[in-house]
Amino acid sequence: MAETYKKIALVTGGSRGIGKAVALRLAAEGAFVVVNYARNESAAQDVVAEIEKAGGKGAVSKFDVSDYETTQKMIEEIIVEHGGIHILINNAGIVHDTLLVRMNKEDWDKVISTNLNGVFNCTKAVTRTMMKQRWGRIINLTSVVGEMGNAGQTNYAASKAGIIGFTKAAAREMAPRSITVNAISPGFILTDINDSLSDEIKKQYIERIPMGRYGSPEDIAGVVAFLTSEEASYITGEVIRVNGGIYT
pLDDT tens digits for the chain (248 residues)? Answer: 334 468 999 999 999 999 999 999 999 999 999 999 999 999 999 999 999 999 999 999 999 999 999 999 999 999 999 999 999 999 999 999 999 999 999 999 999 999 999 999 999 999 999 999 999 999 999 999 999 999 999 999 999 999 999 999 999 999 999 999 999 999 999 987 677 677 888 888 899 999 999 999 999 999 999 999 999 999 999 999 999 999 99
Return d(Cα 14, Cα 22) in angstroms, integer.
8
What kind of fold does domain 8-242 have according to CATH?
Rossmann fold (3.40.50)
pLDDT of residue 191: 87
Which is the catalytic residue, given 5, 37, 156, 234?
156
Predicted local confidence at residue 5, as pLDDT:
61
> 156 an active-site residue?
yes
pLDDT value at residue 148 = 97
Count of alpha carbons within 13 angstroms of residue 129, beta-carbon side: 24
> What was the pLDDT predicted at 205?
85
What is the C-alpha to C-alpha distance for residues 35 and 8, in angstroms, rounded to an integer? 11
**pTM for the complete prediction?**
0.96
The runs of H, that is alpha helices, within the chain are 17-28, 41-53, 68-82, 105-111, 118-133, 144-148, 154-174, 199-208, 217-227
The answer to whether residues 171 and 182 touch, using CB atoms and an 8 Å cutoff, is yes
Q: Residue 185: in which H helix or E strand, if any? A: strand 179-186
